[in-house]
Chain A
Amino acid sequence: MRLSIFRYNPESDTKPRMQDYEIAREPGDRMLLDLLERLRATDDSLAYRRSCREGVCGSDAMNINGRNGLACITQLDHLKEPVVLRPLPSFPVIRDLVVDMTRFFEHYHAIRPYLIHHGPEPQREYLQSPEEREKLDGLYECILCACCTSECPSSWWNPDRFLGPAALLQACRFIVDSRDQATDERLEQLDDAYKLFRCRVIMNCTHVCPKGLNPAAAIERIRQAMLRRGL
């Protein structure tokens, strides 16, 4: 298979370049990551992140033929050649396909991704009805791979001040959680010209999410909650 990979080594390169590779596909190569692992065995200067190799850890997110995805669950059969691999768009590149996720996780921390409970803690556990629990479906499954935020034009133009789809999906996850008692504060915090309202429902986030989640719809749910609160 022919591949064209974005290369950048901060110690020797002044700017990034694309490098072509040719590697024969073997019967065991089903996913893109399988091929990359064998490629790295021949060229150990090639850098990318990977860990679980089954779409759970979210480490190997990259731009594959123009579309963000996880190399470990992207089937080689579905890829057009040459397979063009670039780092996640709009993220600062540390080396080759490895990007700096600092800002992404700052935005994640900014929405306070944990239950906030005022008053005494429950004696045994936080109870939740099955209906209340159901509201978290499609929100809690996010693996924070950053495919969505990196593909979002609103994040491209305002990377520092717009929180981006991944953080906002998590904001929704805590806003709709019946056990969380900081709903008002959370909505208040997001009522700002930038943090949430740069979203124009372009839906690139939903289009690329490797877990099939829908950040755009979650952002719309937050707006509806804000509107109800404002009325």
Chain B
Amino acid sequence: MKARYGGLRGWVLQRATALYLLGFIIYFSLHGLLSPPASFEDWRAWMQSTGPRLAALLFFVAVALHAWVGLRDIAMDYVKPLGLRLAVLAAVAGGLAATLTWAALTLSG
């Protein structure tokens, strides 16, 4: 069996998402430092404007993919019994999918 998944492909995915995450974190941190939200209304208005909302949505997609590759690597290195590894990977995938769905619902609401 060829384990073609997760060779170059996983590596490229990790790097591509890393670039986006880095850009988003810098943008978000600078925005938070330079013009912190003055009130709830201010904060919600900003997060509901198109640009930040889309950027945040994409952030959660990218972070889920990035974390998947990284956590899978950790499981491949340290979790040796096959059954346990599959259970860990399933829990990671389920947890990330649930977190991503929750984030998407929050941002679209």
Contact = CB atoms under 8 A, between A and B. Distances in A.
With most chain A CB atoms within 10 A of its CB, the pick from B2, B6, B11, B12 is B11
A193 B5 contact: yes
Contacts of A196: 7
Interface residues of B, number: 14
A198 interface: yes
A210 B4 CA distance: 34
Main secondary structure of the interface of B (DSSP, over half): helix
Interface string A77-95: 0000000000000000000
A226 B8 contact: yes
Interface range, A side: 10 to 19
A192 B76 contact: no
A125 to B, nearest CB: 35
A74 to B, nearest CB: 30
Contacts of A154: 77
Nearest to B7: A191
A196 B7 CA distance: 8
A223 interface: yes
B2 A157 contact: no
A227 B12 contact: yes
B12 A193 contact: no
B4 A192 contact: yes
Contacts of A158: 76-77
A230 interface: yes
Which residue, of A190, A193, A196, A197, has the highest number of chain B Cβ atoms within 10 A?
A: A193
Contact of A223 (B2, B5, B11, B77): B11
B76 A198 contact: yes
